[in-house]
Structure 1
Amino acid sequence: MSTVTLAPSAFATLFLLFTVIPLSTTAVLDAYYYDQRCPQADKIILETVRNASMHDPKVPARILRMFFHDCFVRGCDASVLLDSTPGNKAEKDGPPNISLRSFYVIDDAKAKLEPACPQTVSCADIIAIAARDVVVLTGGPYWNVLKGRKDGRVSKAAETTNLPAPSLNVTQLIRSFAKRGLGTKDLVALSGGHTLGFSHCSSFEARLRNFSSTNDVDPSLNDVLAENLRKKCLKPNRDANAGEFLDSTSSIFDNDYFIQLVAGMGVFESDQSLFSDYRTRWIVESFARDEGLFFREFTTSMLKLGNVGALEDGEVRLNCRVPN
């Protein structure tokens, strides 16, 4: 297993975004929200995330995915952190989220923040800040996270069906993102988060056998990659944890994901479709050529994603796993 590459210079490369953005819910997020309320918040979260990443190289990809899965269902309200109860199956137990991990990192950050700033920093903001930190710690761009989200009280596993599936085509992906106020460029830029990704075979094995009436294997899949994946994933003898990294530099946040798509090496059908479709191909090609452009567009899109459904009238949970 490769280790997380820490980038000492990453924090020096600042894409400073101090904008205050009004939300459709009338809530307002502010880069300076905790400057007076809890000035040590960012430092506490960064130290927690850094320590966890050093002990487990899977943490960065898991935290980044957690942020996306939280914001895409009910908006960025930390509903993905709530535990199921006897009367309610929560988001984290919905089929697309069964493989989400590293909730303990958010729990640890919250446990350190409460004594320092009681009932001040929301769990939703912790996820958003942690997502930025894992990008920076793996060599990606820095941005000023807009803060002031409140935590929601509702979490329903049934709503996780709204998460984009790895088998969607570009038309379906564009529609899904548009429902959250995100455009086509946001779709491609945020998909670049897969540069840190790993997937189990179950998410892409449909591409490897009986793909269609005319093709056993998805014809858009690179022949060498297809053979490699078939060896790893086809039942009955595969390892329970078998899968594939979504780019060739899995511990580094870079533009290799897009380079892989140009080469036909996208693991997910949805990923490779971004290069196959004329509406998104040119964006993929531009990000593959210019890593700096990808970094700038990624930070812009992460700010927009962090804006989705942010609550003004929620709460600040004392424990991220249960409502107050």
Structure 2
Amino acid sequence: MALLIAVLTLVLLVSASTSPAIALSLNHYEKTCPDVESIVAKAVERATMKDKTVPAALLRMHFHDCFIRSGGPTWEVPKGRKDGRTSKASETIQLPAPTFNISQLQQSFSQRGLSMDDLVALSGGHTIGFSHCSSFQNRIRNFNATHDIDPTMHPSFAASLRNVCPIKNKAKNAGATMDPSSTAFDNTYFKLILQGKTLFSSDQALLTNPKTKGLVYKFASSKQSFEKAFVNSMIKMSSLNGGQEIRKDCRVVN
């Protein structure tokens, strides 16, 4: 898990905007900072020992970065992505929402050169982390004119979520983990989809298309297949590029 977090963080150090990859390299920092991988790995490992939510936070941040502007499996990270100089909260509207149906998801991913295979593999990142009630409230109350609860959601699972997220919820951080093994990067997420026990409409939407449904079954039955696909899609998404500079200090523009 520490290595997974480390490579995600390393990508973030050279993050940028969304356009095809430009001159990325596995040894980009070989001369300027040859120990960068080990430095990042150690720093993130220390942070994770203090806070187990760090892996999910980094994965989410990396996904958001690539979509807006630009334990587990390990891989060589192509480095040298250029940082952007602009950050706008309004651009978060470009992110795929947890309420998206399969058509909306496909459009969102295809606009960035990502395929349906990438969509399913990257959705597997939901195997770690936590969600606030607001992201799945639509499924557990007033779902539509016919059903109060989303009929694709397992009844006992829906009941547990309604207890966690009462109507007059006053708990600031109320919500639920993405799956029971939320600190382990595994293929549990895909098994939960088949059981109707995932949080988001966008998760369950993967069963509404023959292509994505087939991949859900494949990844649910084989952790190895999921991890291989996830690595390939992460490298592909990480290669979205188009910034203006590689920062000397990641906290400020050059």
Q: Give the structure-1-normalised TM-score.
A: 0.71
Deviation of 1:276 after TM superposition, in Å, equals 3.4
Q: Give the AA of the match of 2:185.
A: F
Residue 302 of structure 1 pairs with residue 234 of structure 2: yes
Total equivalences in the alignment: 241
Q: Which has the higher contact order (CA 8 A, sep 6+)?
A: 2
Contact kept in structure 2, 1:205 and 1:234, CA below 8 Å = no
- Residue of structure 2 in register with 1:187 after alignment: 119
* Alignment correspondent of 1:151: 83
1:33 and 2:24 equivalent? Answer: no
Q: Is the 8 A contact 2:81 2:241 kept in 1?
A: no
Distance 1:235 1:275, change over 3 A: same
Other structure's SS at 1:187 match: helix
1:323 aligned to 2:238?
A: no
* 8 Å CA contact 2:25, 2:80 repeated in 1: yes
Task: Check conservation: 2:21, 2:241, Cα contact below 8 A.
Answer: no
How far the C-alpha of 1:6 sits from its partner, in A, is 6.1
Identity %: 47
SS across alignment from 1:30: coil
Q: Distance in 1 between matches of 2:25 and 2:169?
A: 52
Q: CA deviation at 1:174?
A: 0.6
The one-letter code matched in structure 1 to 2:73 is P
Query: Which among 147, 167, 190 is matched to residue 235 of structure 1?
Result: 167
CA offset at residue 30 of structure 1?
0.8
Unaligned runs of 5+ in 1: 12-22, 76-138
CA gap 1:259/1:238 in 2 versus in 1, 3 angstroms: farther
Q: 1:282 aligns with which of 211, 214, 217?
A: 214
Partner AA of 2:199 in structure 1: V
Residues of 1 paired with 2:210 and 2:163: CA distance? 32
Q: CA deviation at 1:206?
A: 1.1
Structure 2 letter corresponding to 1:315: E
Matched position secondary structure for 1:305:
helix
Runs of 4+ in 1 over 3 A off after TM superposition: 23-26
TM-score (norm 2): 0.90
* 1:47 and 2:60 matched: no
- Looking at structure 2, the residues matched to 227 and 264 of structure 1 have their Cα atoms a distance apart, in angstroms, of 13
Deviation for aligned residue 1:26: 6.7
Classify 1:227/1:26 alpha carbon distance in 2 versus 1 (closer, same or farther; 3 Å). Answer: closer
Structure 2 distance, partners of 1:225, 1:148, is 44
Q: Whole-Å Cα distance in 2 between the matches of residues 246 and 298 of structure 1? A: 17
Aligned to 1:71: 66
Cα drift, residue 238 of structure 1: 4.6
Query: Given the superposition, is the C-alpha separation of residues 296 and 26 from structure 1 closer, same or farther in structure 2, using an over 3 Å criterion?
Result: closer
Residue identity in the other structure for 1:298: F
The SS at the match of 1:160 is: helix
In structure 2, the CA distance between the partners of 1:25 and 1:302, relative to structure 1 (3 Å rule), is closer
- Give the SS at the match of 2:30: helix
Structure 2: gaps of 5 or more residues: 7-17
Q: How far off is 1:310 after superposition?
A: 4.1
Q: Is the 8 A contact 1:232 1:238 kept in 2?
A: no
Summarize the alignment of residues 122-271 of structure 1 with structure 2, pairs less than 5 Å apart.
139-271=71-203
| RMSD (Å) for aligned C-alpha atoms | 1.8
Q: Specify the SS of the correspondent of 2:176.
A: strand
Q: Contact 1:246 / 1:266 at 8 angstroms: preserved in 2? A: yes
Question: CA shift at 1:25, angstroms?
Answer: 5.3
CA-CA distance at 1:57 after TM superposition: 0.5
Give the SS at the match of 1:254.
Answer: coil
Number of the residue aligned with 1:123: none
Match of 1:125 in 2: none
